[in-house]
Structure formats: C-alpha cells, structure tokens
Amino acid sequence: MKEDKLRTEFLRQVANIPGGESIKKCIQCGCCTGSCPVSYTMDITPREIIALFRAKDIESILSSRTIWICASCYACTVRCPQGVQVTDILYALKRLALEQKIFPKRFPVYSLSKSFIFLANRYGRSYEPGLIIAYFLRTNPFKLMGLIPLFLKLFFKGRIRLLPNRIKGTKAFSQILQEAEIMEMIVPIREA
Amino acid sequence: MEYTYYPGCSLEASGKSYDESLRFVFRTLGQKLVDLEDWNCCGATYYMSTKDTTSLVISARNLALAEKYGHDIVAPCSSCYTILYKTNHILKNNLIMKAKVDQALKKDNLQYNLHLKVRHPLEVLVNDVGIDSIVSKAKVSLSGVKIAEYYGCQIVRPDRGLDDKENPQMMDLLFAALGAENIDFPMKVRCCGGMLMTTYPDVALELNKKILESAYANGADLVLTTCPLCQVNLEAYQNKINKKYKTDFHLPVLFFTQALGLALGGKPKELGIQRCIIPFQLKENVQGEAR
C-alpha cells in the first residue's frame, strides 16, 4: 500500500524532469556508480537505486544515505549510455523523502536545507554566517567553536558579511512564495 | 556587448574577489555589465532538494526581472548558473510547470516570457569577446606560471553544449594563449563536494584532497576556478586537508577572472588578490613584461 503511494508520487516527480522517462531504459551497466566520486561512501549505489525502484522497494531508497551524499555533480548523468537523468532522479527522491518525512538516522542535509530556506525566504538572499550558525545550532553547536579560526581568517580578508543583504521587495517576495506553495499542491492528472 | 549581471549571494561575501575581478575584466575588454536590480537568491541545491515548483519560482523571479533588460543574463557562480539555466530549460519544456510558475510570479506583477539566455562569463569571454581579442589587449605575460584549470562540475555538466564534458578546453586555451603553461590535470572536472563540506566533511575533504593532490603532483603553481564554492573548499580547507592527510599543499586558488585580470594589467588589489588566504604573486621576472 505504502509502496503504491510512494511510487505514484515518485513517478509524478519524474514526469516533471525533462527526459525523466528514460529511467525505463536503464540497462544496469553501472556506469553511473563507476563515475560517481562519492559512491564509495554510499550504502546503495546509483545503479542499485534504479534496481530497487524496479523491485518495488522505494522505501529502502528513501531511507538510504545515498540520496543525501549525492553532491549533484552530474558525472553519472553525462556518462549514462541510455540517457537516464540520474542526478535529477536523485533530486526527485530527496524531495519525496522530505515530503514523506522518511529520513535516515543521521541527517545533516535536512538541517542545512531548512536553515538555508529559512534565511532565503526571509531576506530573499542567502547569508553565509547565518546559514552556518543556524545549521550547527540544529545539529551540533559544539562544532561551531572549531570553525572560529576559519571564520576569523575569512573575516580579516573581507570575505564575510556581518549583516545580511536583503532584497527590496521582501513582502512581495513572500507573497510569491505563498502562491508557489499553493501551486506545489496542484498536480496534473495523467493517465497511467 | 551588453550583459545583465546576476552576481549571486556568494559574490557579495566569500567570493567578493570574483565580483571585483569579473567587473575589471569586462570593463577592460570593453564589455558592459548592467547589474540586475533587486535579484534574489537562486535557491541553490537546497530548494531543488525540497520543493520543485517553489525552487523554479524563486529562480524564475530573476529570469523575469532580467528579461526586461533585453540582454543575456550572466551568472558567474557555477551553482547559480546551473540553477538559472536549468529553470529556463524546464520552463521552456514543461508548459504545466510554466503555468504554475507564472501564477506565483503574478503576485508581484511579474511574468517570464522565455526569451532569456542564461550564460556563464567564461563562455561569454571565450565565445563573444574571443581569445584573440583578449590576447591583443593583454599587458602582462603569464609565461612561467604553471596552471591547473579546475572547471568543477556545474558549468560543463549536464549537457550545456558549451565545451567537452570530460575534458573542457575553454580556460586551457585562454590561458595558454596568455602565455601560461597548462599542466596535465585529470581532475579538472571532478566534483569538490560542494555543500558536503558542511554536511559530510569527511567525504568532502577526501574529494578536495584528490583534486589538490593531482594539481600538486603535476607541478601546478596555481589552481584556477570558476565557482565560489569550489574556491572556498579548495583554498580555505587546504589547512585542514594538510592536517588530516599529513600532506603539505600550499597551492593558491584564484578565480579565473583574477588571473585574467593580472594578464590584462590589473593591480592585485583591484582584482581582490589580497583576499586570498594562500597568497599568490606573479613571479618577478614575469611582472611588467610586455607582450
């Protein structure tokens, strides 16, 4: 039951990716895994992700460390002989895992994304010191101490802004975001 | 030529010298950069990983603003470039998504009509200005400098059709023409890990170590990048890498525009070279030598 729901949702996400349908053409050659600079530290390799999708086990994929380790460098995508959009499929899986609140046990990426989005929504721009502080407060505040030397080095080189820059139209910007949230829920009906 | 300039958040802070040197280079080459008013964060990989429509909406706001200027938009940060490019590509190919994005942008009376071209300054310099024209304006030869041109992942991948995906040449040809020596650098498009430096530092340190190792072993004096995140990872974390792996790297990492600016006769200060943590100076015998 759960698998069916996840599958429908996943296929909807994939349909939004230009070239997303090429996932059907995967020949399980493993070129993606071989090209990936971080596959050595994944629990499920990119090739296995597609195999698990075919084996109807999306839940295992979503609870893997793999989708969060992907740095989206697109090495797999450009080398795939079948044109499978591996990186964008991993993005779709990240969105699905967040939406379904299926997280692996240790989960720094969610905290970083949340911190980033909080700041970007508020100011319309990213704010590096705020991002780092918010992230470590959510994960491990003690690690902030270790970052002080680097912070000072960058600060004295004039590479750190103490205050955030904000866009002029922050009010209109949040209206756009609210409307985007509503649009997010509108799902086109496609025939199976 | 005139371009609409989208600096991106990093170029206001940690990548400030990229902004300074880029403006210098464009000015010196007679190209006009017009700042995009009231641009917002492109959303980076964070939005792309959480909400699809919202990620496209916030990035499309910039496209809608830039379209009014009537020129190509130039985004120097590799991540901004990829996100804006990808948004443009998706909106041109997915009418349903386009309609959803339009509906959200309407809240601020904005509309995007799909007329914009998203470009990276490296490609603009090589294709629009041209290497010959750049060389004819160069004042300082870079001869004697051994360069590792690091492209990173986001500007040549996925299919941009700009350059080779595995062995891009734009920077190599440009700096060879300016007199520099390009070293063999098989890691030129290998990923630096990006934000993994914050989330999974052990993985990112390993990736950056491999890149630096390759540049170092092949005799580089200098690494050039096109991306503010690669620059921070490769330069600011070099110390940490040396400690962790007992290596002894001391490689300056500049933005390609800084090295190009030096060749065009820019003073180090105008190009933000004093902002480097690992200092770089052109060798005495090279400095001031006219071409």
Locate the domains of chain B by residue range. Answer: 2-119, 131-275
Round the average pLDDT of chain A to a whole number and report it. Answer: 89
pLDDT at A102: 84
- pLDDT, tens only, B76-125: 999 999 999 999 999 999 899 999 999 999 999 999 999 999 999 999 99
Helix, strand, coil distribution of chain B in percent, nearest 5: 50, 10, 45
Q: Is the pLDDT of residue B207 over 60?
A: yes
Cross-chain Cβ contact A128/B13 below 8 Å: yes
User: B5 has which bridge partners?
Assistant: B35, B74
Amino acid at B3: Y
Give the distance from residue A109's alpha carbon to the nearest chain B alpha carbon, in angstroms.
6
- pLDDT, tens only, A81-95: 999 999 999 999 998
Cβ neighbours of residue A84 under 8 Å, at least 6 residues apart? A22, A23, A25, A26, A32, A50, A77
| Chain B contact present for A155, CB below 8 A | no
Round the average pLDDT of chain B to a whole number and report it. Answer: 93
DSSP B52: H
Cα pseudo-dihedral B105, A74, A114, B90, rounded to 10:
10
d(CA A10, CA A110): 19
Q: Is the pLDDT of residue B289 over 70?
A: no
Nearest CA in chain A to B161: A78
Class of the CATH-defined domain B2-119: mainly alpha
Among candidate residues B8, B238, B257, the one with its CA nearest the CA of residue B118 = B8
d(CA B210, CA B192): 9
Cross-chain Cβ contact B12/A161 below 8 Å: yes
Q: What is the mean pLDDT of residues B170-180?
A: 97
Among candidate residues B59, B54, B57, the one with its CA nearest the CA of residue B44 = B59
State pTM to two decimals.
Answer: 0.92
Give the count of alpha carbons within 13 A of A18, CB side only: 13
Task: Specify the residue for token string 């310099």.
Answer: B125
Q: Which residues in chain A (60-119) have CB-CB distances under 8 A to chain B?
A: 68-69, 71-75, 77-78, 85, 87, 91-92, 94-95, 98, 108-109, 112-113, 116-117
Class of the CATH-defined domain A2-99: mainly alpha
Amino acid at A161: R
Cross-chain Cβ contact B52/A124 below 8 Å: no
Q: Is the pLDDT of residue B39 over 60?
A: yes
Cα pseudo-dihedral B10, B54, B156, B249, rounded to 10:
40
Cross-chain Cβ contact B100/A18 below 8 Å: no
Backbone angles phi, psi at B134, to 5 degrees: -65, -45
d(CA B196, CA B211): 15
| Chain B contact present for A174, CB below 8 A | no
Task: Supply angle C-alpha A104, A108, A113, rounded to 5.
Answer: 110
Residue B191 or A187, more confident? B191
Q: What percent of chain B has pLDDT over 90?
A: 86
Q: Select B131-275's CATH number: 3.40.50.11810, 3.40.50.720, 2.60.120.380, 3.40.50.2000.
A: 3.40.50.11810
Amino acid at B7: P
Cβ neighbours of residue B147 under 8 Å, at least 6 residues apart? B175, B180, B181, B182, B183, B220, B221, B222, B223, B224, B259
Q: Is the pLDDT of residue B291 over 80?
A: no
Pairing assessment for the beta strands B32-35 and B146-149 based on DSSP bridges: unpaired
Cβ neighbours of residue B170 under 8 Å, at least 6 residues apart? B122, B123, B126, B162, B163
Task: Specify the residue for token string 């998706």.
Answer: B90
d(CA B32, CA B12): 19
Locate the domains of chain A by residue range. Answer: 2-99, 108-185
Alpha carbon separation from B39 to A172, B87, B119, B228 (Å, rounded): 13, 15, 16, 18
Write out chain B residues lying below 8 Å of A116, CB-based: 44, 46
Q: Is the pLDDT of residue B51 over 90?
A: no
Q: Which two tokens stand for residue B5?
A: 């300039």
pLDDT at A189: 67
pLDDT at A190: 61
Q: Which of A118-122, A184-188, B138-142, B256-260 has the lowest mean pLDDT?
A: A184-188
d(CA A134, CA A110): 12
pLDDT at B243: 95
Q: What is the mean pLDDT of residues A120-146?
A: 87
Q: Which two tokens stand for residue A67?
A: 């989708």
- pLDDT, tens only, B224-237: 999 999 999 999 99
pLDDT at B171: 96
Among candidate residues B41, B31, B155, the one with its CA nearest the CA of residue A173 = B41
- pLDDT, tens only, A6-52: 998 899 888 888 888 999 999 999 999 999 999 999 999 999 999 99
